[in-house]
Each structure stands twice: as C-alpha cells, then as structure tokens.
Structure 1
Amino acid sequence: MAANLFYAQSGGVTAVINTTACGVIQAAREHGDVIGKVFAGRNGILGALHEDLIDTSLESDAAIAALRHTPGGAFGSCRYKLKGLEESRAQYERLIEVFRAHDIRWFLYNGGNDSMDTAWKVSQIAEKLHYPLTCVGIPKTVDNDLVETDNCPGFGSVAKYVAVSMMEAGLDVASMARTSTKIFVMEVMGRHAGWITAAAGLAARTPAEAPHILLFPEIPFDEAAFLARVDACVREHDFCAIAVSEGLRGSDGRLLAESGTRDAFGHAQLGGVGQQIAELIKTKLGHKYHWALPDYLQRSGRHIASGTDAQQAYALGRRAVELAIEGRNAVMPAIVRLSDTPYAWKIDVAQLQDVANREKMMPRHFISDDGFGITDACRKYLQPLIEGEDYPPYVNGLPAYVSLKNESVPRTLPPFAG
C-alpha cells in the first residue's frame, strides 16, 4: 500500500514558494503507485508537532496548478526553530509519532538555513528510532545565502522587483531633483548577506543612473566616505539614489538598525536603517530626501516574478519528490550553473549536513573596490536570475490567485504539550 508524504513551508515566504509546492504535489500525484497522499503542515513544522495536517488530495488539479503563479505560503509558514536533538528530544520524537500515526514515509521541508538544519535533525532522530523516513530539504530564501547551490528560489524574483523599483524611482527623482528631492534611499532585505542590495545595482546601466550607491552588510559603514560620495554624486548628477541592506553594520560590527528585540529563530529584529541613512544625509548635507521600505512587497510581488526563478522553483519541487522516492535521505536538490551566456543550469544533490546553518555571503570580488557598487563579475552572476517574465493570469485587472480549501486530516493523537 502506498505511504504518504509530508510537505511544509518554513520561514519568510517568497513569490515562488507555492510554485515549488505545485511541483511537489503534481509530481507526487504522478507517482500514485508509490505515494498515497501529500499532507501539508499547517504553519510549517508546527503542523507536524500539533498534528495539524492538511489533506491536499482534496484540492482539484486546477487549484494545485494555480499554486504555480500564486504568492505567499498556501499552507501557512512559521518561524520556529527546533533545538538540538538532546536538548529537545521530545519534539523530534513527537514528529516521528505523528508521521507514524499517518503513515508518512517522506518529509519534504521547504525553507532556508534553519529549515535545512531541521530536516537534517529529523533524519537523524528517525534513524535512531528505527522509523523508515526519507528527509529532503528544498531550498528557499530571498536572501540567496544557502550554500551548496548556485542560487536560491525566491531570490531571482526579489532581485527583479528591487532592480525595477530602483530604476523607476530613479527616473522619478531625477525628474524633480533641480527643485525638490535630491536623495532617495531604499532599504532592502538582507540581514547578513548583501545579495538583494547588489541586485538593485542592476538598474544602473551608466554611472548617471540609479542607484549611485550600494551599502552592503559585508562592508562596514564608513560615514565620512559615504557622505563624501553622496555629495559628489549630487554635484555631478543633481540627485543620489541609494540601496541599503537592513543588515548594514558599523565599523564596530554592530547593526545600525537593531531594535533590541529578536524573532523566533533568535535573530535580531531589524528595520529603519533606510531612514537613518536618509536623515544622516539631511543633517550633514542638508538635502531633501525620500526613503522607501519595500518590506513584504519585495518578496510577495508575483506579478513581476523572474521567469528563471519560477522555472527553477518548480523544477526543484519535482526533483525533491524524485529524490524522496529514490530513498535519497538527508539531501537537498541544488542548482548548478553550467554557463552564464547562454545561461544554463542543472539540478544536482547536496547533503543537508553540508547546508544546515551555513550562510553564503557576497564574495568580495562581487563588490567594487570602494565598497559602494557591484562589479562586472557580479552583474554576470545576477543578470540571468532576473530574466524572463512569468505573469499570472489576470481577471478584472488583478492577478487571479488561488485560495485552497486546506481541509484538515482527522487527528488521532493526544495534543502536544511541548
């Protein structure tokens, strides 16, 4: 008799995480002789801990197909980090208890660094408890900071969004610079790695075009050098457009925008560095400014998703199912770049233990010598990731996104007290 597969989404969602979910569910349905049902975790791994499972077999083929162009997390995501096996053994044992109760033999976890760590730990505890479970991580993060893969699903679409936004805002500010705003600052996501900030740099095809300055987490903020560059830019171009990472740090290594609170993963809560930078310019140089915080807009903009990103997200979801059926335990499908021009890629396999809790920063040769821009090597890497369009269908002028029924699987176990 065919066993069941459990799929869950974790961490901040993206424009294409549901595209991956579509790939997973469609591939699983094509292997009905091996896989019985796909159960999705309601709100990520919490759905497994609390036996709150969604029966995706009750969704029509059309609804699942529509996931391919729908943003957000269709089953709910979460920021919840399982601790070490010995420190929190009861949680891992509970996961196996739920999987056993619902005859789940495959666990596919779609997320970033912490999620790959969770999938790895679950594979370990299943082995210790002698439960036949195959664990596969599926990469997802707008931060593009997973190792062992050339790039991460979700990033290409965010990169396209911020590059387009910077290009359009730059044209706006340039139109008014002589008599009005001279400074535009856009704060983008990126706690430790400056990949999204770098992507904004794609909008500047000439030195006169926005953005003129990029501020990366990898480069300590030098106030004097920065202000001198802003002043020179305004004198030469009448305005200055800046993209800054939320994770910008000072020379002492401290985050400029740390609020003092932390999220469920223990990460510092950030926000407001864009305004800080803009007000610094106003105070020191006297220029009128506007600043923008795309926030969730940059990661949910499915209407302007990268075609490359959507294609890769879907392919990785399908490949994850194939790896699970093949019994490839504790692995992650990973993108390998074969060439830049023409852009070509394939899917390889990485070991979860090599991916978990590691971060891929911007290499120094991707950042200009002065620390305020990107190099040609960086452009060559980024460009293919934003190319191609994958528009959703529109009805009455708005995207036609799907809302699933998300009907629950009957519970059979006592409530989880952990």
Structure 2
Amino acid sequence: MSALHKLSSAKVRTAPPGKYSDGGGLWLVKRADGGAQWVLRLTVHGRRREMGIGSLQAVTLKEARVAAEKWRAVVRDGKDPIKERDLQKRLAARGDHTLTSVAVEAFEARKAQLKGDGKAGRWFSPLELHVLPKIGKVPVEEVDQQDIKNTLAPIWHEKAETARKAMNRLNIVLGHAAAIGLNVDLQATTKAKALLGKTRHKPKNIPYMPWPEVPNFYASLEEYTPTQLALRLLILTVTRSYSIRFCHFDQIQGDVWTVPKANMKGQEGVATDFRVPLSREALSVIELAKPLARDGFLFPGERKGVISDAAMLSHLNRQKIEARPHGFRSSFKTWCDETTDIPEAIVETSLAHVVGNEVERSYRRTDFLERRRPLLARWADHVTGKNASEVIKIA
C-alpha cells in the first residue's frame, strides 16, 4: 500500500482543479466548476472499484481518512465495500420496507401494464381490503407463509376468487421486494397455499340469457341513453364491457371498430389491437350514440368520463333479469353452437379468445375479419328478430 496521509488541510483547501492522492487509494478530485469529491479506489476480488466518500464541502480530510480506513477493512475481510454499504442502507431503511410500502411501490411499477393505469383499483383492492389491514405494517422481509395463511384463511373457501387474486398480488409484491434487494422468501405464497389446502369453493358460471330470449330483450332497449345504447352495441359485437365503455370515435373506421390492445381483457396472448366487423345494426347504434358523445367517447358518464362498469348491470337488475352483460357472449356462443356450422376458430376469434397453442398462433397471420363479418351480421339479424334461426355455414 502506498504511503498514507500525503495531503494537508492547506493543500486540500488551495489546490487547483485536478486529482490528488492521499495514499491508500483515497483521492481528492477537484473540478473546474469549484466542486470537489472524495473517491476511494480499491481492488476487490481482482476488480478495480471506485466508491464516493462524499463531497469536500460535507466531508473533511480527517473524516475522509476515517471512512477510507473503514472500507479498506471491509476489503481485507473479503467483502465488496460498495455492496456492503448498500446492504447497510437497506437495513437502516428497513422500517420503510413494510409490506404496505412495498405493495404500493410494486403497484406503481405495474401501472403501465394495467387498464387505465390501474385507476379502477381492481389490481390493488384485494390487497387493500384483505391483506394490508392485517399484516401491512409487518416488514416485508419478515412476512412468511404462516402470516399469509392466517390472513387469507377467512376468505380462502368463502371468497375463493378474491383470495386467489390476493395471493397472486402478494407473490408479485414479494418478487418486487426481491428485485430491489430485500431478503424475502419467494416461496412464501406457495407454502401458504399448501397450508391452506385446496379450496372447497366451486366456481359459478356467469348468468347468461338463452339466445332465443335475446331478441325480446334487445327490443326492450328503446331509450337512447348511453347505458341502453352501450348494451345494444355490446350484444351486437359480443365484446367485453370495458371495450364498449371506452369506445371512441377514433377507433371506428368505416365498418370496422379497432379495439386498442390496452382495452382488451388483460394483455397475455393479445399481441395486437382487435378488429371488430360492424353490422348495419351496430353502425346504426353508433349513429344514435354520436349526439350523446363527449370527448370522443360514445358512452359518456352522467358527469364525467364514461359510463361506469356497473351501469349496464344495474339496468339488467332493474329489469329483474338474472343475466349479466358478460353473459351475452355466452348467448352468442350457444347460438353459434346450436344454429350454425361455423368453424370453432372463427367463433372463438369473434369472442377475442386466444385460439390454438403457441406454435399454431405463431404461424397464423389472420384474425378472420372477413369470415367473421357475415357471422356477426347474421347474429345481428337474430338479435333484431329479422330472421328465424337456421343452420348457416361460412366457407
């Protein structure tokens, strides 16, 4: 090691811009703009490392020498001083790494992948309602399978889907904690599932309206309100309610509605925007909605934004109809199965379902737009009562 303590206080104070060694790898770097920094150069595991000790304004020559000796001792112990310092910072900030704070950080990191940047709250709500009130103040590094098991046990069987989502979110939060360098148990959720056991809950299918009843219901949608017009377009296009609610003028070109990828269900398996062929009836509904539009959205809410995700469901409830808006997709699917002879791939693509395995999808270069067009036109005829059901084929 080179001689130590080469610099004097006077030299440190009056030296012009340049680099000055104090020995033992400690350097003073003075810049032309008047700033100055202490830098420690070390060799760790055969690699040269540089770490800042602080600015000259904040750290005196004496303090820099003390700090340099501290980190040289760390190197003598065979450790990387920069990693060791980062670890100490994390430990010092451990109180800030509660499950709640890391969950919020994980949510912020994922917002861009969520519909509407997650403003609807659906991603975060399982944590907010069922997890964080119980163990949110626990340091994330201390969260284990027993904590998770005790937290989710009350809803594991009674609210199985909510519990599943909460478990999924917890797994993502723990993964985020690991990514920022915290020492967490990434197997905690898997272990918790083993402790909780298989859920006794049996999932229920979404209530739907039998396809022969759809024409009468469609005819009852006589009012030109955003909610009833949205229901009509939802039935005619068999798209999901989110896509309908955020339907915008810019998405419609001629008789094709292009639903942005971000407005589709999730993003897994959806590589591009989704094109929907519009029947004459669908186009007429869009024309009726145009005078009501606000900010380009066809189905605005009463005060701002678009109609809520509960608006169409509320209309069905007021009519004492058990079916749900999403159930009209099942109505269409059943109608296809029972009255048409259309290839399954075309029916499933009409519903924006992912068709085939990954290899098959990699070779398929069509969304069957032109083959879906007569199918949705025929569905529109059925919905509006223009024809009796009969078996049809699409080449």
Name the one with the larger strand percent. Answer: 1
TM superposition score category, shorter chain reference = under 0.3
Structure (1 or 2) with the greater helix fraction: 2
Q: Between Structure 1 and Structure 2, whose CA radius of gyration is higher?
A: 2
For normalisation by structure 1, the TM-score amounts to: 0.24
Higher relative contact order (CA closer than 8 Å, sequence separation 6+): 1
Structure-2-length-normalised TM-score: 0.25
